[in-house]
Copies of this chain bind each other. A is one copy, B any other.
Amino acid sequence: MANALIYLDPDSPLSLQSQIRQRVVEGIIGGAFPAGSRLPSSRKLAQQLGVARNTVVLAYEQLTGEGFIETRERSGVYVRDNILRDRVGATDRPQGAAAPDAGWRRKLRLRTQSAPGFHVPRNWQLHPFPFIEGYFDASLYPTAQWREASRLALGTRIVEDGAMNEGSADDPALIEEIRTKMLPRRGIAASADEILITAGEQNALYLLTRLLADASTLVAVEEPGNPRLRQLLRQAGAELHYQSVDAGGMVIDEDLAQAQVVCVTPSHQVPTAVTMNKARREALLAVAARHDQVIIEDDFDTEHNYLGSPHPALRGMDRENRVAYVSGLPRMLSPGLRIGFIVAAPALIHEARKLRQMVVGRPSLLTQRTAALFLSLGHYDAALTRLHKVLGKRWDALRQALNHYHRETEITLPTRGGTSLWVRAPDHVSVDQLVDQAARRGILIEPDSHYYGRGGGSRNFYRLGVTSLREERIREGVNQLERLVRELTGDQLVRIDPADPGLLDSDDLRQALAGSLIHYRTFYTDPCTIELHPDGRMVGRSGHADEDCDEGRWWVEDGLYCRQWSRWSYGEEGRYQVTVHDNVIRWWRPGGRLVDSAVLERSS
A135 touches B165 (CB 8 A): yes
A112 touches B355 (CB 8 A): yes
A-B contact pairs, 9 of them (CB 8 A): A18-B148, A25-B381, A66-B382, A96-B193, A109-B213, A111-B351, A202-B359, A202-B361, A203-B360
Q: Which residues of B contact A183 (CB under 8 A)?
A: 90
A interface size (C-beta, 8 A): 153
A99 touches B212 (CB 8 A): no
Residue of B whose beta carbon sits closest to that of A215: B109
B150 touches A164 (CB 8 A): no
Residue of B whose beta carbon sits closest to that of A115: B357
Query: Which A-B residue pairs are the 3 nearest by beta carbons?
Result: A25-B378, A96-B191, A66-B382
B87 touches A347 (CB 8 A): no
A377 touches B102 (CB 8 A): no
Q: Mark A181-204, 1 if CB is under 8 A from B, else 0.
A: 101111111111110000110110
Of the 9-residue stretches A318-326, A535-543, A591-599, which lies at the interface with chain B? A318-326
A163 touches B193 (CB 8 A): no
Among candidates B164, B167, B385, residue contacting A137 with C-beta atoms closer than 8 Å: B164
Is A294 an interface residue when CB atoms closer than 8 A count as contact? yes
- Complex CA gap A403/B321 in Å reads 60
Among candidates B14, B194, B309, B357, residue contacting A86 with C-beta atoms closer than 8 Å: B309
Residue of B whose beta carbon sits closest to that of A203: B360
B206 touches A109 (CB 8 A): no
Residue of B whose beta carbon sits closest to that of A370: B150
Of the 9-residue stretches A117-125, A436-444, A560-568, which lies at the interface with chain B? A117-125
**Given known A112-B354, A165-B135, A169-B122, contact A336–B96 (CB-CB < 8 A):** no
B166 touches A138 (CB 8 A): no
Q: Mark A551-583, 1 if CB is under 8 A from B, else 0.
A: 000000000000000000000000000000000
A87 touches B184 (CB 8 A): yes
Q: Which residues of B contact A137 (CB under 8 A)?
A: 164
A320 touches B100 (CB 8 A): yes
Q: Which residues of B contact A85 (CB under 8 A)?
A: 309
**Given known A109-B216, A154-B147, A214-B109, contact A377–B18 (CB-CB < 8 A):** yes
Q: Which residues of B contact A309 (CB under 8 A)?
A: 85-86, 88
Nearest chain B CB to A241 CB, angstrom units: 17
Q: Which residues of B contact A96 (CB under 8 A)?
A: 191-194, 346
Nearest chain B CB to A380 CB, angstrom units: 10
Is A248 an interface residue when CB atoms closer than 8 A count as contact? no
Q: Which residues of B contact A135 (CB under 8 A)?
A: 164-166
B169 touches A99 (CB 8 A): no
A114 touches B354 (CB 8 A): yes
Residue of B whose beta carbon sits closest to that of A162: B122
- Complex CA gap A164/B348 in Å reads 32
- Complex CA gap A309/B87 in Å reads 8
Q: Which residues of B contact A363 (CB under 8 A)?
A: 199, 338
B235 touches A160 (CB 8 A): no
- Complex CA gap A111/B360 in Å reads 16
Is A105 an interface residue when CB atoms closer than 8 A count as contact? yes
A361 touches B338 (CB 8 A): yes
**Given known A203-B359, A367-B364, contact A102–B321 (CB-CB < 8 A):** yes
